[in-house]
Amino acid sequence: MSVLLSKDRRALMPIVLPEKPTPQEKYAATELRYYLDLITSAVFDVVHAGDNGIIIRHADDSLSLGEDGFEIASDAEKIVIQGGKRGVIYGVYELLETLGVRFFTSTCEKVPSIVNLICPDIHTRQLPAFEHRDHNYYDLAQNGRFAVKSRLNGNSPEIKEQFGGHQKYTGFVHTFDRIIPAKEFGETHPEYFAMYNGVRVARDDRTQLCLTNPDVLAIAKERVRKMLYAHPETRILSVSQNDHILGCQCEKCLAADKEEGSPAGTLLRFVNAIAEDLETEFPNVVFDTLAYNYTRPVPRITKPRKNVCVRLCSIECCFSHPFETCTDDRSLTLPDGTKTSFINDLRNWGAYHDRLYIWDYTTCFAHYPTPHPNWRTLQINMQAFHKNHVKGVFEQANGAKRGGVDFNELRAYIITKLLWNPYTDVHKHIQEFTDYYYGDAGKYVRDYINVLCDKAEKDNIHVGFNDQPVSELFSDEMLDMLDAIMDKAEEAVKGDALRLYRISKARLSVRWVRLKRHAMLKNELNPEEATKFFTDWKAFGLSRIDEWVSAETTHRALLSNLWRGVEFYDHWINDEEREEF
């Protein structure tokens, strides 16, 4: 039965809180009141007693909603929204979305104006598909309250307890060198570090730890203990390999790798020992590690403890085709010489471990502006994660502190919807977003996406996470087609300053690829166009073009006929402009 919420600018229902509401219940009521006032131009009251109205409350444990689940039920006299710590807030946003509100970005919300507001009959119970939901697109990483509207609960956005809090990751990733730094122990104890070609290498993150050395384990236990006492808010702590291609090659480590059938087993022995030692002191902490590169395949013997989480990484994959059907051979070789694919490893880990997380990739990190043809694979891959019992997903994105292009606002929105429900109607979400965010140019944005994805599918073009824009996906002919579509988009919104700004900003994608390809592949650098691109890039408030170096360094690389600015340095951290990240 539908419920009339307001008539002729008069609120017909109060918002009802418990007598002693929690901060999250109070915030949920405040948000609901604001948006109902905005929709109806009526003034809704928040009261602390009553059986009729819009009732907001935390759910009883018997409903098994956890921290993030919620229920909404309506009848002629009331609407009851109840949920977990964050779920009670998510329930309010679900009700508002039912009433026509959309939270597209932190600065772009669609709010209808309806003086006589009717709430349709609503009975829904929702639990997220994944217990941990995270990505690091700028808008959500920098705006915690918007991240709550998007139902993220991971490490990237800082979400205050008042707004439901989040699952704090201490260390986050690649923590070996923070736990036992090469700078601290390298000279005095080289035996703590990985052996390559018979030599111990102790050089920051260009090495790994020797995981079969008992002293390394003893020090790691104490260092991790100190980290947890220093960060009592920790929900997940990372004990994970450095960002380097091989584990220790000493006799003991290689023997353990061979016995396990994968270096992941040697790693899990180490992490399990830390997790077991600290479990009593920190019963609510999960100890996280990676299945990344050489540790990606499942071991034969050692399983993760109940308080250990494994994050499987898709870094080797093609992202223009679904993991389940891609024909690109990007297999890893196991210690016995056999090979394994990512999708095989996903299936194996899903059957092997009951707290499997994913670290996935959503952009081109070498050239952030590059049109990335993953629009049709995002949902299929997310469903593959869900089918294989994944519990948490981090979608690594364009992490530039001032955002980027390549329709990242849309991609961020779609990813948040999929993290909550991998089976949602993505086509509907894309249409709603593009029609509102880009106005009359929305249909051309969809054409652009379709032309890009059609080309990748038709010609079976594989796209990695860090590719140079050299494939036929970015030929002059293709770039001309994309530019022609965007010409139409600009024409459609020429009288709409806001949407015209958004389309002009989006056009930087093709401009960058054309500029870079001509310079590198044809040795044709147009000085005027190069200067104009970089001044426009800055005028749109943007920073990095490459994940690892500043725009200034990327410009110097362009003039120096180098693909990337990282080529100037032994390590990207030496970029003198890196504070601009």
Pairing of β 15-16 and β 6-7: unpaired
Distances from the Cα of 273 to the Cα of 31, 239, 318, angstroms: 45, 11, 35
CA-CA distance, 358 to 313, in Å (whole number)? 6
Mean pLDDT of 203-225: 93
Residue 537 has pLDDT above 90, yes or no: yes
Characterize 190-202 residue by residue with b for buried, 16 or more Cβ atoms within 10 angstroms of its Cβ, and e for exposed: bebbbbbeeebbb
pLDDT confidence tier of residue 405, bands split at 50, 70 and 90: very high
The answer for residues whose C-beta is within 8 angstroms of residue 308's C-beta and 6 or more apart is 268, 271, 272, 275, 286, 287, 288, 289, 355
CA-CA distance, 231 to 168, in Å (whole number)? 9
CA-CA distance, 167 to 185, in Å (whole number)? 32
DSSP 285: P
CA-CA distance, 108 to 89, in Å (whole number)? 20
Closest CA to 132 of 348, 408, 356, 317: 356
pLDDT confidence tier of residue 572, bands split at 50, 70 and 90: low
pLDDT in tens, 277-308: 999 999 999 999 999 999 999 999 999 999 99
Distance from first CA to last CA of the chain, Å, rounded?
A: 52
pLDDT at 530: 98
Distances from the Cα of 346 to the Cα of 264, 267, 272, angstroms: 14, 18, 21
Q: How many residues does the chain have?
A: 581
Residue that is written with structure tokens 């948006």 in the block: 35
CATH class, domain 3-127, is alpha beta
Tokens of 150: 């998007």
pLDDT confidence tier of residue 339, bands split at 50, 70 and 90: confident
Query: What is the average pLDDT value for the chain, to the nearest integer?
Result: 95
Residue that is written with structure tokens 């999929």 in the block: 418
Alpha helices in 507-547 (DSSP H): 508-521, 527-539
Residue 576 has pLDDT above 70, yes or no: no
- What residue segments make up the domains of the chain, in order of their start? 3-127, 168-298
User: 236 and 168 in contact (C-beta within 8 Å)?
Assistant: yes
pLDDT confidence tier of residue 334, bands split at 50, 70 and 90: confident
Alpha helices in 71-154 (DSSP H): 87-98, 138-141, 144-149
pLDDT at 9: 96
Residue 580 has pLDDT above 60, yes or no: no
- Does residue 448 sit in helix, strand or coil? helix
CA-CA distance, 110 to 297, in Å (whole number)? 45
Mean pLDDT of 388-397: 97
Tokens of 393: 């997903």
pLDDT in tens, 152-195: 999 999 999 999 999 999 999 999 999 999 999 999 999 999 99
pLDDT at 574: 65
